[in-house]
Amino acid sequence: MTRRADVERLRDAAIAKFGRVDVWINNAGRGITRSVIDLTDADLDEMMAVNVKSALYGMQSIVPHFIERGSGHLINVSSMLSRVPFAAYRSAYNAAKAALNALTANLRVDLSARYPGIHVSLVIPGLVTTEFARNAVGGSPPLPPAAAREAQTPEQVAERIAALIEHPVAEIYTNPEHHDRALRYFQDVGAFERETTRR
């Protein structure tokens, strides 16, 4: 997914087999365990390539097809860490997903007036019980018990995405509690961060 030509080949193969694409989901991602101060150029470049550029290639590949058809649904999968810095050790991943949020919002605004049949959605999961943490560059520290307790299964996240496809909206948090938590964060960033670091 980090090679534009490969993403375009995937699009072409799907259209050749099925005649059209109704929904395109960009869900490539990889984490890293590095504080901001320890990031190298290579660390940041890899996080941007996997978490942002792969989605950009997907968007640029499929949206012209949606425009030609007058309909379609693009879904980008982000992370709760793009909104709230619960895991500062994931700094470059968090920054990359925040960049993905911005690209998604800008694309949605660009398309909304002229192409009302095209939906652009952002999915914001929290912790999901996959191999993501184990495969992060630099490994992963142990999770606090509270974080582990609210983890969702991939099936639970998939159910939320399926519901989003049925009823498109601009964005969803796959864990409904995270919506309120993100709102509290932005209402008083300093207070939220002080409270979080005391735990």
Whether 93 is catalytic: yes
Q: Are 150 and 175 in contact (CB under 8 A)?
A: yes
CA–CA dist 78, 182 (Å, integer)? 14
Dihedral sign, Cα of residue 65, residue 67, residue 73, residue 77:
positive
Give whole-number Cα distances, 167 to 59, 72, 120, 127, 164, in Å.
20, 13, 12, 24, 5
- Cα(24)–Cα(11) distance, integer angstroms: 9
Given 89, 93, 115, 185, the catalytic residue = 93
Catalytic residues: 93
